[in-house]
A and B are shown apart, each in its own frame.
Chain A
């Protein structure tokens, strides 16, 4: 039951005599004002050249100056349009449907524009194409206003004109087409029918052209396996909402596995309805989002994963597979296989192991189960990269066979494991052009940097899934002198057609099948019609003449034939176990690293480790103890850690910081890709180490040797910030069994207080100290958060940043607990269900082998903890503790349930934050906008264009917090008033609820009895945070239910 389960947020808290945890519990603002330190330093005071008199002079002068300056108000200019565009009304937002397709993230989105500026990314709820917008997609709007963008085409650091560039390129291409060296296009995965057609036409025009597609984070094994089995280079699609049992071997499908976008379907099956929810078993090494959400998580090294998969197959099919696995893992495999067998077609198995045998075996398993969640007929096309072709290209470049290299959307000098070979090879290429938004590692080496537009300034199309198309349309005029790759190809082919016209005619000819172009453009997506990318005939039709690169691909494809199950099993079972294994992964916030100059994403705390501004080696506690690696908290609550040097295949990276990660499989370590960039980034954003250097053969698993290095690393980890002051029952959870069989009182206990020796629930008005407001009139907003559906993805955090102009404070300030996130996602660890379960476990130990492992597990709660995510923002208490202590009444209550904060009234006493039981108030220690000390987007005119004009930017010395997006609720009300109608359910949204792709957050008016949120409030699972405090919040949660049924 919920009440006696122990949660912790940091390994530090498990240490019973940690003084720092105690200090953090007692102090909201950890740092004391160093009065003694300052005044006690006599020497320093004496040596100071500023005397007391001088000080007074300065004060007097500045006061006088300020007074004088205040005498005359500034004259403000107001400049209207000369000719106002018809569709723009100042002060009214417009929305455009478009799609992001940057090679890593593919999603249909809506872009909110104000006065012609895109300011926010929203989910395109109507689009039936691709997943919802994740944290990176939400943050992508800020990349548009990056001050370090390439503003015009460049050559060797100097600006050139497009005409010069075109002339040089066309001359070279014409020279090459006569014969000799080849022309190579090296691009990201476009999955774009029009671009494919265009590249084919380009190839025809110049002859010896080859096109190589390259994904920085490869899915080669899965693509090859799928191609071998089904003949299409694509990825199987999964609908997890249809699966009752999900078994994953190393696939972080809640995260970014195979392009991501699965969390919404997954979450649908996770909410218990009619006594049923899906069961999720995860076998993995790093603690991933999927592992964190799993009902059962088995921590094992990558090589064990392969064996476990083989064993699992053995149990499932009844063939015996000889594999040596630890007893508990073997048991887990058996149990998983039995559950899958029991569910039959309602089960699905996925894997993220970068191995064709493993991928092929999983395809076979799903075929065998005829799993309804498995879709091979409409596969996903958003990964097309070909590792062999890339390796071939590098070899060709070194051999001097490449005459011209044209790149778009790739940064191989940074992302290629053999980056130095690439840079060597680039010297033998006569002409190299890269389309890039940044002066990144690659563009520093190429002959020309072609300034590329952001996707919000471009046209484009993408076939995310077979027959599922999305359109990209510009939402702003190009800010700089940029031209997109496709327009340039057209130009270099001597065509006068703009890419827009080309795109439109391609769609009208091959995609739309009679549906109006304007409708597709308006919707931003199109489903149905013929597949262009996945249909080999369609591709062949476009490719009149075979292209070199394509021909190579086909040859490769010819080689790959589906291996027999037996051989796959043998290969997997015979995986050698060798020493320490490194698992390279991508972080939710950074992805493949192309958005590294985005301060929102840099400051985004990793959902699992809660570390921002860094990547690090995740090490299990057991391994850390052996190697003498440590994490510890310093006096102000900040986290420090040891350094290690790591070596993979003679490539060494020095001084990698270490995080001891609960749940990391012993014998494995993790390191995220995407960090350690140096070019085209502000110096503060140059964080972490470049793990791509270790990504040999595009394999995410490497054998690694680790040695401890000297020094200590300072992390910006918000793990221990804003702790719960020792109060329990923040997270309530139960098991599906108890949930189904017992009364809600037992698993969702309402705290009681004694009134005249009678136990009375705290929510009863009889025990209330306060007079209750009448909330029955008008709107009463509530936010519902379902802990079962929340995967911790963090899209809401970035959406909140973007909607509410939340400032970025930087690594040093985050270390001081001064992060400004209005919405945080707390991550709790727990070991067993209950303390009672620990006892049971001890009693049930049988045999020596089992006792060794299970006692070990119990001794160390951090070995394989359970994880719960809990988004926490201002709870908008009806009896708010903050309101009563504000000396100036800057925070007050609204009738609609929102706790208001008048920033201009606040004098910064911080009493409210001290009195808030939920620790959701944030203090502006500095003026974060227009401040060179905080050189993030708010410090330049370009970056400030992303600010939401409906929300004020807060000044220094002012408290701020979640407003429950009052600007949005007010707008909805006003729209209804103006149109003279009632507000419909679903119209009220907050930034977080709108961004939530899993449906975990639902916002609405509980006075509207028909509304979804009112229904959710009546649920048995509903509870408030710290109910016993009696604050009566307007945010409520749903008890997390875990499906522990083993059968």
Chain B
């Protein structure tokens, strides 16, 4: 019996040892965690308030595993408020440092998840992207050198041409001299009426050509005059390099998220800076693709975000507003004359016109420019062609019924609704 007991105890010891070992190994594994999974979890759950290296709504998390006990971290993440209430000194300290704003509880994160996140947070800080900067410098240098070589080649070509001309002249001269020496005589060209005199004498030709000239002149003058004040393609430099391509294109932000007035107002509204800060409170650096040819590097974009912070008075380090703001003086691109009344909400909300119809492929514009000519002819053209969107709009029901009877058509253009009348836009 005893023996058995003994054996039993041995096996138990073994079993316990194994279990311990297993446990230890799992916990060892846990301690290591999976930084890749951790990154995913971090971005999904934590990134709204935390950054690894920078203080945001919450503290910077790099090296967080060294600062706190693991168990403390589990508890904190699962329910920080309870810890603060219980009076845990560390918890209270954090809570107070961040102005008494409690951290959202994440009971859904398992301890393993948390370990993964910690693993990600414990990764050493990557070296700054030196090569990228180097690449830019190289690109710049390359650009510079290519410009230089072009000039050299051009100069060489000019020189070669010059030499050729001189040589030709010399050869001609030499040949003439040889010919003279050999007694060959040149045929003297017969003296003819100069062509311009002949032209002047032919009155019909003068008449026709002057009419033609006048017509051509008028055509070009008209063309020139008609584009006075038409600023199609106007692409001014803005005080902050705001890329619609990144916002509307890459990140697929809806136009009306920022230009919300377009739904209800005559102006689309240039977003006020507090709208920018809805996202940029957290997005403080650019991590997307770079356009090295134009010098749009990550640092460049991050610098532009800094300009925003300066304008809105945001202290990114302390995560608070300083109260010192300076409004951004954007350069207005689309300038309708004062005597035209244009209402965005009519087109955006009622007619459901896509912004791109007038503003062009904004989501591809790195720098915003005026896409449409914004001339009256352009407006009228669209009003003639576009059918009014009447479905489901009670306002139009009666009018639609009457008008479709009158014109004998089901669909009605804006023009048929009276959108070509002067007073609809000019008052």
To the question of whether A and B form a pair in one complex, the answer is yes
By a beta-carbon cutoff of 8 Å, the part of chain A in contact with chain B is 70, 73, 75-84, 89-92, 774, 776-778, 890, 892, 894-896, 898, 900-905, 950-953, 963, 966-967, 970, 973-974, 976-983
Instruction: Report which of B267, B350, B426 forms a contact with A977, defined as CB distance below 8 A.
Output: B350
A895 to B406, CA, bound (A): 14
* Count of CB-CB pairs between chains A and B under 8 Å: 154
B391-412 toward A: CB 8 Å interface, digit per residue (1/0)?
A: 0111111110011001000000
Given contacts A80-B269, A84-B274, A896-B418, contact A976 B395 (CB under 8 A): yes
User: Smallest CB–CB gap between B380 and chain A, Å?
Assistant: 13
Given contacts A974-B350, A976-B395, A977-B396, contact A90 B265 (CB under 8 A): yes
A179 to B265, CA, bound (A): 62
Q: Is the CB of B331 within 8 A of A76?
A: yes
Q: Is the CB of B392 within 8 A of A903?
A: no
A75 to B234, CA, bound (A): 11
Q: Is the CB of A982 within 8 A of B394?
A: yes
User: Smallest CB–CB gap between B403 and chain A, Å?
Assistant: 6
User: Smallest CB–CB gap between B90 and chain A, Å?
Assistant: 36
Residues of chain A with a CB closer than 8 A to B325's CB: 82-83
Q: Is the CB of B274 within 8 A of A82?
A: yes
Stretch at the interface among B102-110, B131-139, B140-148, B336-344: B336-344
Instruction: Report which of A84, A953, A963, A981 forms a contact with B395, defined as CB distance below 8 A.
Output: A981
Q: Is the CB of B350 within 8 A of A902?
A: no
Given contacts A776-B402, A952-B427, A977-B395, contact A82 B327 (CB under 8 A): yes
Q: Is the CB of A970 within 8 A of B261?
A: no
B177-208 toward A: CB 8 Å interface, digit per residue (1/0)?
A: 00000000000000000000000000000000
Which chain A residue lies CB-closest to B390? A977
Contacts of B262-280 to chain A: CB distance below 8 A: 264-267, 269-275
A903 to B265, CA, bound (A): 24
Residues of chain A with a CB closer than 8 A to B346's CB: 974, 977
Residues of chain B with a CB closer than 8 A to A73's CB: 229, 231, 335
Residues of chain B with a CB closer than 8 A to A892's CB: 421-423
Q: Is the CB of A902 within 8 A of B349?
A: no
Given contacts A894-B421, A967-B427, A974-B346, contact A80 B273 (CB under 8 A): yes
Q: Is the CB of B399 within 8 A of A777?
A: yes
Q: Is the CB of B423 within 8 A of A980?
A: no
Given contacts A79-B327, A978-B345, contact A904 B339 (CB under 8 A): yes
A976 to B397, CA, bound (A): 12
Q: Is the CB of A904 within 8 A of B264?
A: no
A952 to B272, CA, bound (A): 26
A950 to B426, CA, bound (A): 10
Instruction: Report which of B331, B341, B396 forms a contact with A77, defined as CB distance below 8 A.
Output: B331
Instruction: Report which of A81, A92, A776, A894 forms a contact with B272, defined as CB distance below 8 A.
Output: A81
User: Smallest CB–CB gap between A499 and chain B, Å?
Assistant: 26
Q: Is the CB of B265 within 8 A of A91?
A: yes
Q: Is the CB of B327 within 8 A of A980?
A: no
Given contacts A78-B270, A974-B343, A974-B350, contact A982 B265 (CB under 8 A): no
Given contacts A70-B228, A78-B332, A92-B265, contact A895 B421 (CB under 8 A): yes
Given contacts A78-B270, A83-B272, contact A904 B331 (CB under 8 A): no
A894 to B417, CA, bound (A): 11
Residues of chain A with a CB closer than 8 A to B343's CB: 974
Instruction: Report which of A75, A81, A894 forms a contact with B236, defined as CB distance below 8 A.
Output: A75
Q: Is the CB of A967 within 8 A of B341?
A: yes
Instruction: Report which of B269, B328, B418 forms a contact with A79, defined as CB distance below 8 A.
Output: B328
Q: Which 10 residue pairs spanning A and B have beta carbons closest together?
A: A900-B423, A91-B265, A84-B272, A81-B272, A78-B332, A91-B266, A76-B332, A904-B339, A91-B267, A80-B270
Contacts of B358-403 to chain A: CB distance below 8 A: 392-399, 402-403
Q: Is the CB of B332 within 8 A of A77?
A: yes
A967 to B424, CA, bound (A): 9
Given contacts A70-B228, A983-B395, contact A978 B349 (CB under 8 A): yes
Given contacts A776-B402, A977-B346, contact A982 B395 (CB under 8 A): yes
Q: Is the CB of B396 within 8 A of A900?
A: no
A967 to B325, CA, bound (A): 36
Q: Is the CB of A900 within 8 A of B422?
A: yes
User: Smallest CB–CB gap between B342 and chain A, Å?
Assistant: 10
Q: Name 5 extra pairs, CB < 8 A, besides A89-B261, A967-B341.
A: A89-B264, A90-B267, A778-B403, A903-B339, A974-B350
A905 to B339, CA, bound (A): 10
| B3 touches A (CB below 8 Å) | no
Instruction: Report which of B269, B350, B399 forms a contact with A778, defined as CB distance below 8 A.
Output: B399
Q: List 27 A-B contacts (CB under 8 A).
A: A70-B228, A75-B236, A78-B330, A81-B273, A82-B312, A82-B313, A89-B264, A774-B406, A777-B399, A777-B402, A778-B399, A892-B422, A894-B418, A894-B421, A900-B421, A900-B422, A902-B339, A904-B337, A904-B426, A951-B427, A966-B423, A966-B427, A970-B341, A977-B350, A980-B392, A980-B395, A982-B394
User: Smallest CB–CB gap between B407 and chain A, Å?
Assistant: 10
Residues of chain B with a CB closer than 8 A to A80's CB: 269-273, 327-328, 330
Given contacts A900-B423, A900-B426, contact A777 B332 (CB under 8 A): no
Residues of chain A with a CB closer than 8 A to B273's CB: 80-83
Given contacts A76-B332, A778-B418, contact A982 B398 (CB under 8 A): yes
Q: Is the CB of A92 within 8 A of B264?
A: yes
A82 to B313, CA, bound (A): 9
A973 to B346, CA, bound (A): 10
A950 to B418, CA, bound (A): 20
Residues of chain B with a CB closer than 8 A to A902's CB: 339, 422-423, 426
A735 to B175, CA, bound (A): 119
A82 to B314, CA, bound (A): 11
